[in-house]
Structure 1
Amino acid sequence: MSIHPTAIIAADAEIHPSVTIGPYSIIEAGVQLGEGCVIDSHVLISGAAQLGPGNRVCHGATLGTEPQDIGFRPEHSKPLIIGAHNHFKECVNISRGIKTDAGTRIGDHNYLMAFSHIGHDCLVGNHNTLANTATLAGHVSLGDGNFLAGHVAVHQFCRIGDLCMIGGITGVAQDIPPFALANGQRARILGLNTVGLRRAGFDSKARGHIKAVYRLLFRSGLRLSQAMEEAAAAYPGAETERILAFIRAGDSGRGIAAFGGERKP
């Protein structure tokens, strides 16, 4: 264990012997730091946050801090639980939970650039990238393999599926289904996230399949329920079911972002 003499570590914090903690960092009571975590200078980790192995937390980041909710009371705190091998750059802020038993949860291999923020009770999957100042409001659900460009702001309770790309300075006020490329104020779906799909190993046949499903769902002029039935029949497969399952879930109450123009409900 390598702990700088200026760091402040609570007596009951659980620190793996392999952890490194830099100058002036503060690790509060109840925090758990897993094997191989590297905590740089001036970091604050609080709220009994739990970090799995191999996480890197850079200068000035604050994890597990009180949520930015005017109704917060300390006795209502829920956990912040972070998986393995995430990289949190300078001044990243992630709030602890407040209103759900799960609290705030971050998966594995996520990369959060400087000043990005994840609000209370968010559920974040794996292999996501949040560029500088990208922000998730409270209760946002973010799937796997997404890229949120700089200054993206996601409205509370929105859902973003897997392998989406959200363009810079975009306000996301409705759900973004899997594989989509979205941009604008407010965000509209512009097409497929073809770069992300290629990187994830989707071949041209699979990408064409996904494109055909979206064309049917959003460009056919059919009502969504009818278009979903036809998509399932015409294009069976895992990719289609992933899109349709996301739309069926629809529990955020925000609706699905429009594809270029508005569509019938």
Structure 2
Amino acid sequence: MASIHPTAIVDPKAELADSVTVGAHTLIGPDVRIGEGTTVGPHCVIEGHTTIGRDNRIYQFASLGADPQDKKYRGEPTQLIIGDRNTIREFTTFNTGTVQDKGLTQIGHDNWIMAYVHVAHDCVIGDHNVIANAVQFAGHVLVGNHTLIGGMSGIHQFVRIGDFAMLGFQTRLSQDLPPFTVAAGNPAEVQNVHQEGPRRKGYSAERLSMLKQVHKLLFRRGLTLEAAKAEIAALRGQQPDADADIDNMLSFLALASRGIVR
């Protein structure tokens, strides 16, 4: 049986794995499922059609699965899905999706999400991201993997953030941020290529050098976006282990309907 504090209120229809721990005065609704090894702290509210995976640590006062803050919402049974091994700190608010999108807000695996972060309806956040205190995601935001998002930053609706991107403290991001790019400011401006994250993941010196070349073509040569994409594509094959990074960048740029930070 799950370890549930006597003051917690867990709906009998909720599905909690045997090794789940629930703290004092927490409320868990009927359509919630929580996987093995997850710890829910005191004074949390987990409601809606919410599925939480294994070995997550959810700190006190988190609100997960509440209705989306969208005036078009009419009570449809949309979802929040959270993966495995995430750290979710105090006063975080994750809302369910809307039927105007895919009806789903999704958090991946191994994310470190600090206090007061808001994840609005229909956001999709990948894996291994570090999201600092008080970051605010508007609806429909897409975040890749291995990103670093600085505290108190605001992310406009429908914006995409690529893999290994880094956003500085108190940044206002209203356009797409390409992979491997550091940006900061209000509004955001590109600062540099992000190499430290890839280096920690084992990228070779040659692969990091290719990231620099891609960055120069996209941001430093004064090329149009279409010309930059063509020259980036021409880099394929010069450093074979970097071809995946080139393809990642080109795929991201092909979908940049809001424009990119440049």
Residue of structure 2 equivalent to 1:53: 54
Aligned to 2:4: 3
Q: TM-score, normalised by structure 2?
A: 0.94
Q: Deviations along 1:147-175, whole A, 9 cap, x unmatched? A: 11110110000000001110000000000
Q: 1:241 aligns with which of 239, 244, 247?
A: 247
Q: Does 1:79 align with 2:102?
A: no
Q: Using the TM superposition, name which of 214-223 and 156-165 deviates more.
A: 214-223
Aligned length: 255
The CA distance in 2 between the partners of 1:68 and 1:107, in whole Å, is 22
Secondary structure (helix, strand or coil) at the match of 1:230 reads helix
Worse overlay, 201-210 or 42-51: 201-210
CA distance in 1, matches of 2:227, 2:103: 35
For residue 189 of structure 1, report the CA deviation from its aligned partner: 1.3
Superposed displacement of residue 28, structure 1: 0.4
Distance 2:183 2:27 in 1: 38
Q: CA deviation at 1:249?
A: 2.0
Task: Calculate the TM-score normalised by the size of structure 1.
Answer: 0.93
Secondary structure, in 3 states, of the residue corresponding to 1:234?
coil
Matched with 2:153 is: 152
Structure 1 residues 29-73: Cα deviation after superposition (integer angstroms, max 9, x where no partner): 110011111000000001120001111110000001111222322
Judge conservation of contact 1:53–1:84 (CA < 8 Å) in 2: yes
Cα deviation for residue 187 of structure 1 reads: 0.8
Report the secondary structure of 1:157's partner residue: coil
Indicate conservation of the 8 Å contact 1:145/1:162, yes or no.
yes
Report the Cα distance in structure 2 between the residues aligned to 1:52 and 1:235, rounded to whole angstroms.
38
Structure 1 unpaired stretches of 5+: 259-265
DSSP-derived class of the 2:84 partner: coil
Tell whether the 8 Å contact from 2:49 to 2:77 is kept in structure 1 after alignment. no
Percent identity of paired positions between Structure 1 and Structure 2 = 39
**Residue in structure 2 matched with residue 161 of structure 1 by the alignment:** 162
Other-structure match for 2:93: 93
Between the aligned partners of 1:245 and 1:66, the Cα distance in structure 2 is 33
